[in-house]
Amino acid sequence: MHKYLPIALFALSPILGAAAETENDRWNLADLYAATDAWNADSVKLEGQLKEFSGCNGKLGESVKRFKSCMDLNADIMKRYTRLASYASQTHDQDTSANIGQDLSQKSDILGSKVDQATSFLRPEVLGLGPAKVSRFLKQDKSLGIYRHPLDRILRAAPHTLDAEGEDIVAQFGLATGAAGSVYTMLSNADLPWPTVTLSDGTEVKIDQAAYTKYRAAANREDRKKVFDAFWGKWKEFERTFGVTFYEQLKKESVYTKVRHYPDSLSRALDGDKLPPAVYNMLIEQTRANLPTLHRYFKLRAKMLGVSEMHYYDMYPPLVTSSLKYPVEEGKQFMLSAVKPLGPDYVAAMAEGLRHRWMDVYPRPHKLSGAYMNGVAYDVHPYLLLNYNDDYESVSTLAHEWGHAMHSYLANRNQPFVTADYPTFTAEIASTSNETLLLDHMLKIAKTDDERMLYLGSALENLRTTFFRQAMFADFEREVHAKVDRGESLTGTDITKIYGDILRRYHGDKEGVVKIDDLYTMEWAYIPHFYNQFYVFQYATSIAAGSMFAAEILKGAPGARDRYLNILRSGGSAYPYELVKAAGVDLASPAPYQAVFARMNGIMDEIEAIRARRNN
């Protein structure tokens, strides 16, 4: 997700647990700023640059020299701000209870708003110069070549960009249009009166979001049902409120769609990165057509759990339980061995980051849960937040986040700042490719069928959640946005009905594959990604592309490794769909999605073969 535009923070679900840590297990934020005083001093410099940049307003076209000086100043402003925002965000995330982190985060948000307002004239003024004059400037001064792609992004958006006054108004409204997301966040995380249930062992548990994530995977089936019924029952009580909140978000996006003269919200969301709507539609078309593969998985899950009828509350217990431990140093070695097919330079760069405190490894009180990578501190290095728990899922998350880190490392090494940051569409390719390489390595070194089952089960569940579940979310988003774009109203009850129909379709409720109780169709209200429109589909497209690239690299296909690494080195220097297509994967075609389904069926074939050997 984009927590601080243009900072990309790639987040995963929470990992619970704790382990002893040393200083080497904590990231070193001093690489960003020696102390808060240095951050404050740099923020003052940024404020000064914003005042200086105001002198560019109305002056961009005076001469090529003036144009270049203004473009360079804008780039330096953005580079300084992303570094400031990184330090503020990560200071907060390492201890969310500390006043210093909260203070810096608020100051960073204010700075970000000032940056948006101070630079809002840039796009309409570049548009006013027109393609011919911009092209002439590029020819007159070759050093402007680094701005060719960013300028093209502006110029091609001409039909959707307002004049300077209009853009300034839109930028100012940025402070006033986040109420829906803010209310959702506060209500769903802090203010809902969470219910309490008594589990089969007599334990009383308050089922808040963290407890739901933990206890929905309980071994006892009746406990799982209790947790689901209590949790979703509480959300159901607030169906009207969440309906109003989400409808306001949908209306806001629809208004921006009209203001910027797009035919629909989907087109607007995809246009910034020049993504063809055919990619989105092909993902949903192929997923719907291949739901039998997902249903096969659910039937296999039912067998492995020993249940005659699958219910939605049977979705989260692990397919394979294991007491195996993977200390982080061992996890690092597994990862380094797994990525050897990407070449010695890739491995060496990763090893350097592992040695030099780029990571905050273990969970602790008040640390942000989950995992992410932040790679936009251009002159420094990527930073990774983990909550490592010594299990295999932690190893998989380690490989995932280091895929992001290496993407940022290679992009920052090979691109100027203005084209180093890459869009989400390519971001998840690097992470999912690393996970595929890790699975291949772990299967090769597994000593027992129990180990193989652990790795295969983890990969299978990852494909369910990262591909099919995200495609289902994308299907839902497309439908509700289209309704609001057409001027239709939506209540909480309406949204629940739409989501419930899609949820049942994907899980084969009619076919008797998975039973979806009415209460659980409130799940839409729980998904925070829906407040960042048309975002999650890129997880599914990325895992499709990543699977294809990793398979080709592991086969040793000529040029496969270089084509893949070229995507990482290219950062944001080209439109992402075109970049991936040039590397051999067309995400507007069925092929990459068919590869995912083939991979998933292959994993299930292996699991069933092991089960057959065991006669279970």
**Over the stretch 158-167, which tens digit does the pLDDT of each residue have?**
888 888 788 7
What's the distance, CA 79 to chain centroid?
A: 22
Average of per-residue pLDDT across 578-596: 96
- 196 in helix, strand or coil? strand
Half-sphere exposure in the Cβ direction for 43 (13 Å, CA)? 22
Average of per-residue pLDDT across 137-143: 97
pLDDT of residue 7: 34
Q: Is 401 a catalytic residue?
A: yes
Tell me how far apart the alpha carbons of residues 264 and 257 are, in angstroms, rounded to a whole number: 6
pLDDT of residue 161: 81
pLDDT of residue 175: 65
pLDDT of residue 16: 42
pLDDT of residue 125: 93
**Over the stretch 410-423, which tens digit does the pLDDT of each residue have?**
999 999 999 999 99
pLDDT of residue 20: 67
The gap between the terminal CA atoms of the chain, to the nearest Å, is: 42
- Looking up tokens 């503020």 gives 88
pLDDT reading at 520 higher than 60? yes
pLDDT of residue 539: 92
Name the residue ranges covered by the structural domains of the chain: 23-179, 246-259+262-321+421-616
Rg (the chain; Cα; Å): 25
Average of per-residue pLDDT across 569-576: 97
Confidence of residue 1 (pLDDT cuts 50, 70, 90): very low
pLDDT of residue 178: 77
**Over the stretch 470-510, which tens digit does the pLDDT of each residue have?**
999 999 999 999 999 999 999 999 999 999 999 999 999 99
pLDDT of residue 10: 39
pLDDT of residue 164: 74
CB 207 within 8 A of CB 196: yes
pLDDT of residue 19: 53
To the question of domain 23-179 being in CATH 2.40.128.110, the answer is: no
**Over the stretch 106-119, which tens digit does the pLDDT of each residue have?**
999 999 999 999 99
pLDDT of residue 185: 84
**Over the stretch 307-346, which tens digit does the pLDDT of each residue have?**
999 999 999 999 988 899 999 999 999 999 999 999 999 9
pLDDT of residue 11: 40
H-run or E-run covering 287? helix 277-289
To the question of domain 246-259+262-321+421-616 being in CATH 1.10.1370.20, the answer is: yes
- Whose CA is closest to 72, among 550, 256, 64? 64
Confidence of residue 157 (pLDDT cuts 50, 70, 90): confident
3-state helix, strand, coil in the chain (%, to 5): 70, 5, 30
DSSP 345-386: HHHHHHHHHHHTT-EE-S--TTSPPSBEEE---TTS--EEE-
**Over the stretch 228-249, which tens digit does the pLDDT of each residue have?**
999 999 999 999 999 999 999 9
Tell me how far apart the alpha carbons of residues 578 and 572 are, in angstroms, rounded to a whole number: 11
Which among 167, 253, 393, 401 is annotated as catalytic?
Answer: 401
Global pTM value: 0.88
Average of per-residue pLDDT across 598-610: 95
Confidence of residue 189 (pLDDT cuts 50, 70, 90): confident
Average of per-residue pLDDT across 8-29: 63
- Whose CA is closest to 10, among 530, 470, 422? 422
Strand-strand pairing, 359-360 and 383-385:
parallel
pLDDT of residue 616: 65
Tell me how far apart the alpha carbons of residues 30 and 357 are, in angstroms, rounded to a whole number: 11
Average of per-residue pLDDT across 559-570: 97
**Over the stretch 40-81, which tens digit does the pLDDT of each residue have?**
999 999 999 999 999 999 999 999 999 999 999 999 999 999
Confidence of residue 6 (pLDDT cuts 50, 70, 90): very low
For residues 329, 334, 338, 344, the Cα torsion angle rounded to the nearest 10 degrees is: 40
Strand-strand pairing, 196-198 and 204-206:
antiparallel
DSSP, res 391: S
Confidence of residue 13 (pLDDT cuts 50, 70, 90): very low
